[in-house]
Structure 1
């Protein structure tokens, strides 16, 4: 059991060291990329909604 605890302590210490090496984005970068993702999601959703509507109408006409 002690070996497990020692290994866990070593692991957590290594995680702490690696987290200090991470290059974190600035608030401005985070806001910019988040905005880009949200806009992309809306545009793609709108496009896919139009495609779905068009295909639904096409299939509806073919069935009648």
Structure 2
């Protein structure tokens, strides 16, 4: 059992050496894009929700 675990951990170490991690600038740039996208979509959905709430409110008056 310990041999399988040891083999697995060695394989993990080899695979991690193959991974190309992004640079700090790439991570910061991607994070900015995600934040701006979330803000835009949140604003849009908030406006749609507000508009639909007003329409439903007018329909039931």
How far the C-alpha of 1:27 sits from its partner, in A, is 0.5
Q: Give 5+ residue unaligned stretches, structure 2.
A: none
**How many residues in Structure 1 have an aligned counterpart in Structure 2?**
61
After superposition, what is the alpha-carbon deviation per residue over 1:6-41, rounded to whole angstroms, capped at 9, x for unaligned? Answer: 111111111111001001101000000011001100
| Alignment-derived partner of residue 17 in structure 1 | 14
Q: Give 5+ residue unaligned stretches, structure 1.
A: none
Structure 1 residue runs of 4 or more that deviate by more than 2 Å after TM superposition: none
Match of 2:33 among 17, 32, 36: 36
TM-score by length of 1: 0.90
In 2, the alpha carbon distance for the partners of 1:7 and 1:53 equals 58
RMSD after superposition: 0.7
